[in-house]
Amino acid sequence: MTKLSVNINKIATLRNARGGDFPNVLKAAVDCQAFGADGITVHPRPDQRHITKKDAFDLKGVITTEYNIEGYPSKDFIEMVLEISPDQVTLVPDAVDVITSDSGWDTITHNSFLKEIITEFKANGIRTSIFVNPEVKIIEGAKLCGTDRIELYTEDYASRYSVDKNQAIFPYLAAAEKALEYDLKINAGHDLNLNNLGFFVDNINHVSEVSIGHALISDAIYLGLENTIQMYKRLL
């Protein structure tokens, strides 16, 4: 079964809108796990507009499932991850001012850069995943970086799903096949939701984990957090 890692960035966004500590990010992580989440994902950014560095450290003490930290591997980010030692680190190529992730790594151009960082994380017992577009040559580059996993960037799939879901998923099929050929485990994330998730995991073999935040937290406003998590779990 594909694992569901709930990204709780939006909980922190809501908290930060008013200051204070409500809703409480740690309680949200505990509750998500109690409601069935297989893991918790956070993506702290340099401006700390949602998850803060303090949150990232504090969450280590309450996550009993799997802790995944996403982010651009700046010096500060690398030092933070090494100190926290989460179960998984997902490397994304985000610019400092980007609103949300908008592309995967060029694993060919940045191969030596990524390989050096991945080697350090793996030497410290941290599983690594690289955020990538669904391109066969990029998967080949990811293998050469030494990563344990890839995370397929699914925005293009999500945006094209309502037009032609079979065409939307086509490049992901080829990318997944290449990843399996190279013995890379497959994660996926970005704009997956209750409408398009089931078709994706039914067609892409051996997806280890999906990371979902914005859609899941938005659904929870109407459906309730526990019910929403269970609805996503049923699709998996």
Give 73's contacts (C-beta < 8 A, 6+ positions apart): 91, 117
Residues serving a catalytic function are: 43, 70, 190
213 CB-contact burial (10 Å; exposed 0-12 / middle 13-18 / buried 19+): buried
- Which two tokens mark 230? 């269970």
Per residue in 175-227, pLDDT (tens digit) is 999 999 999 999 999 999 999 999 999 999 899 999 999 999 999 999 999 99
What pLDDT shows up at residue 60? 98
What pLDDT shows up at residue 219? 98
**What's the whole-model pTM score?**
0.95
- Which two tokens mark 18? 């008013």
Per residue in 1-16, pLDDT (tens digit) is 899 999 999 999 999 9
What pLDDT shows up at residue 83? 98
62 CB-contact burial (10 Å; exposed 0-12 / middle 13-18 / buried 19+): middle
Cα 154 from Cα 223, distance rounded (Å): 24
What pLDDT shows up at residue 108? 94
Task: Decide if pLDDT at 94 tops 80.
Answer: no
What pLDDT shows up at residue 49? 84
What pLDDT shows up at residue 104? 87
Domains defined for the chain, CATH in brackets: 3-235 (3.20.20.70)
CA distance readout (Å), 236 to 41, 95, 160, 173: 17, 32, 21, 17
Task: Decide if pLDDT at 53 tops 70.
Answer: yes
Task: Decide if pLDDT at 30 tops 60.
Answer: yes
- Which two tokens mark 177? 């096949």
| Nearest residue to 93 (alpha-carbon basis) of 40, 172, 153 | 153
- Looking at residue 73, its amino acid is P
